[in-house]
Amino acid sequence: MARWRCQVCGYIYDEKQGEPKTGTPAGTAFASLPPDWRCPVCQAGKESFVQEKEEGSTAAATTTTVSDVIVQELVDWGITLVFGIPGSSSLGLVEAIRRNPGLRYIVVRHEGNGAMAASAYNKLTGKIAVCLTIAGPGATNLATGLYDAKEDRASVLSLNGQVEKQYGGPGGFQEIDQDAFFRPITVYNNTIYHRDLAVEILTKALKHAVVDRGVAQVSVPNNVQKEPLGAHTCARESCLSSFRILPDPAEVQKAVGLINDAENPAIIAGWGAFDQSDAVVRLAERLKAPLVTTFRAKGMVPDAHPWLVGIHGSIGNPFAHDVVNQADLLITLGVGFSKQTALPTDRPMVQVDRDVLKLGISPRGVNLWGDCAGVIPLLIEKTKEKKKPDVLPRIAEMKRKWLAQMEREADPYAVPIRPPYIIRTLSEMIPEDGIISIDVGENGWWFGRNFQMKRQRFVMSGYLGTMGFGLPGAIAAKLAMPSRSVFCITGDGGFSMAMADFVTAVKYSLPMVVVIMNNHELGMIRVEQMMEQYPNFGTDLLNPDFTAFAEASGGSGIHVERPELLAPALREGMSLNRPVIIDVETDPRRFPL
């Protein structure tokens, strides 16, 4: 049985398989096809076909290809989810995924959304998701989402098709130098140019993604994807099962001395301590130290917790700033020290971080290189318990004042609806086990400042701060935890950047409630212009009818213009068990003048 290739479009007629779509049975020789038979792809005649040489038929003749081995290796590493768009330079990999029941391929409408979803998936679960796209534009479209993962230290594998290696060079269709393009984004970056290196390169990539907490990129040329390969011929590496780092005992003793001598310490917990909330609270109780978090660590303990004051930084409350400014020692746990967190660095500090390059922020500090999971119990064990009965009443009074201020801001009668009222209503109605994906813009500012977390989880674009993250993050959340309620809080500007993938939520039956705070503006830019004494310019938005868009996409849409209708709309949206857009007409002003 031979294979015949169309010289116009490259379609392969395989005599062994026939052409079921045109009614040509398997085993039909090419010579037996009718004289007027034409290529089913480009309609070229039989004279445009040439017989493939035997060595060119490896894709059909073998049962195990490079792509099959790569995909099985992903499954063996516990990876179950792939985001992307199929195309000509990735078809071998896509076919291997189709044949392997261990992977689920979520086909998105834009590669950037797929990359943001992969980043969000790792932030929520700690597990790796894969992006799989074509060479050239598919790869470049990933950049923003992968850069979000880079900046927030999320482990993601970008697996990309590449043009056939013999066509490499200037003028290649959909070809770029992907190794050069991805180099600034990745912790590991390579191309599989020979089949025998496939698993070794892939396992190195996965190892770097996990250990270095970042993006690993592997390109696979189209022809290499389809070459035969036996897994036993491949070299592979294993990965560490534990990444626990503990600091030098002498440095721990220095830190203990500073803590014991401090009269008014404060604890600032960041994303690096998020999964150690119980230990952080025990440390606060032992030291009688008020607890403050960064924005990314919001929700590590409920906002109502007696030791928690709130968030520090531009999204935080003034009482958190007061606590930090009045402290004679700051104990920072997994804090990234971004500009927005705005922590002072000119005072005594005990700094705990597993990223050694982030240590040494304060010239008057003790630096503990280690994981919060290991270091915090050491500090609890070795420090003296403090006696300060006035601390909890002082925190309670701060929070009483702050809650009263937020209540005053949440005007229940104002039209257009005030953002604080929207956030208060969401705080009251989102279930305690809900997952919230927030976008960048005024919606995120109000969420960080006013939303009262209970036991919910939320995910965001942290350091990169990219608009359009909210919807992909919600898709990732529902795929990661399908039994939990998922909410996307976004603005009209952010949602419109990613809205094409609302149909992805519909296609894969991912119920969620998307709340659009629709102020018909790039509201945060208006505020930034005001802060810099510029006139408002270029921020107005012409929006589509988001509710009609939801219905046209196969979901549900609800439009809300009056505050008394918001809670009923949320109840309805949560009851529909499908993707829902609630389009809320919102006051563009941060605070009415």
User: Cα angle vertex 454, ends 452, 460, to 5°?
Assistant: 70
Would residue 404 count as lying in a domain? no
Last residue of a domain, one of 361, 394, 427: 394
344: nearest Cα among 364, 324, 366? 324
Confidence check: pLDDT of 424 > 50: yes
Specify if 533 maps to a domain.
Answer: yes
H helices within 104-228, ranges in order? 111-125, 137-141, 143-151, 178-182, 198-211, 222-225
- Helix 442-450 with 419-429: angle, nearest 10 deg: 60
Please name the amino acid found at residue 143.
A
Q: Are 77 and 479 in contact (CB under 8 A)?
A: no
Q: Express each pLDDT in 266-279 by its tens digit.
A: 999 999 999 999 99
Question: DSSP state, 88?
Answer: G
Rounded (5°) CA angle 200-356-186: 40
3-state helix, strand and coil shares in percent for the chain, rounded to the nearest 5: 40, 20, 40
Quick one: average pLDDT of 199-215? 94
Lowest mean pLDDT among 96-100, 244-248, 325-329, 489-493: 244-248
> 142 with 211, same domain?
yes
DSSP per-residue letters across 466-507: -TT-HHHHHHHHHHH-TTS-EEEEEEHHHHHHHGGGHHHHHH
Do residues 135 and 228 both lie within one domain? yes
Distance CA 296, CA 273 (A): 10
Range of the domain at 142: 62-233
Do 118 and 175 sit in the same domain of this protein?
yes
Mark 257-295 as b/e (b = at least 16 C-beta within 10 Å): ebbeebeebbbbbbbbbbebbebbbbbbbbbbbbbbbbb
Per-position b or e across 316-332, b if 16+ CB within 10 A of its CB: bbebbbebbeebebbbb
Span of 51-65, 204-218, 297-311, 563-577 with lowest mean pLDDT: 51-65
Hey, which residues does 354 pair with through a beta bridge? none
DSSP bridge pairs for 512: 579
- Flag whether pLDDT at 228 surpasses 80: yes
Domain stops at, among 58, 77, 105: 58
Same-domain check for residues 420 and 351:
no
Domain contains 591:
no
- What's the pLDDT score for residue 123? 97
Percent of the chain with pLDDT over 90: 83
**Could you tell me if 325 and 424 lie in one domain?**
no
Domain boundary among 165, 199, 233: 233
Q: How many domains does the chain have?
A: 4
Give the span between the Cα atoms of 219 and 178, in whole angstroms. Answer: 7
Residue in 139, 220, 201 with CA at minimum distance from that of residue 176: 139
Angle at which helix 523-531 crosses helix 442-450, to 10 degrees, equals 80
pLDDT at 171 over 60: yes
Q: For 105-155, what is each residue's pLDDT tens digit?
A: 999 999 999 999 999 999 999 999 999 999 999 999 999 999 999 999 999
* Shared domain check, 470 and 331: no
| 24 within domain boundaries | yes
- The verdict on residue 8 lying in a domain is yes
Distance, CA of 286 to CA of 260 (rounded, Å):
11
Is there a domain that residue 97 lies in?
Answer: yes
Helix axes 419-429, 566-575, angle to 10 degrees: 40
Residue 230 neighbours by CB distance under 10 Å: 10
Helix (H) or strand (E) holding 585: strand 579-585
Rounded mean pLDDT of the chain?
92
Residues 278 and 224 in one domain: no
Beta strands per DSSP E along 18-100:
49-51, 81-84
State the Cα–Cα distance between residues 93 and 225, nearest whole angstrom.
Answer: 6
On whether both 215 and 296 belong to a single domain, the answer is: no
CATH number at residue 270: 3.40.50.1220
Q: Is the pTM of this model over 0.85?
A: yes
Same domain? For 227 and 268 the reply is no
Q: Which band of pLDDT confidence, cut at 50, 70 and 90, is reported for residue 593?
A: low
Q: Using N-to-C axis directions, what is the helix angle for 470-480 and 111-125, rounded to 10°?
A: 50
Burial label for 226, CB within 10 Å (0-12, 13-18, 19+), is buried
Residue 75: the pLDDT is: 95
Q: Within a domain: residue 521?
A: yes
Q: Are 354 and 242 in contact (CB under 8 A)?
A: no
Domain check: are 116 and 22 in the same one? no
Write the CA distances from 416 to 73, 493, 558, 586, integer angstroms: 54, 18, 16, 5
Beta-strand ranges (E) seen in 321-472 are 329-333, 349-353, 365-369, 435-438, 457-459
Radius of gyration, CA atoms only, the chain: 28
Same domain, 448 and 343: no
Copy the structure tokens of residue 549: 């868009």
Report the distance separating Cα 492 and Cα 584, nearest Å.
10
Q: What is the pLDDT of residue 586?
A: 96
CATH assignment at residue 569: 3.40.50.970
578 and 486: one domain? yes
> Is residue 238 domain-resident?
no
User: Do residues 330 and 324 lie in contact, with contact meaning Cβ atoms separated by under 8 Å?
Assistant: yes
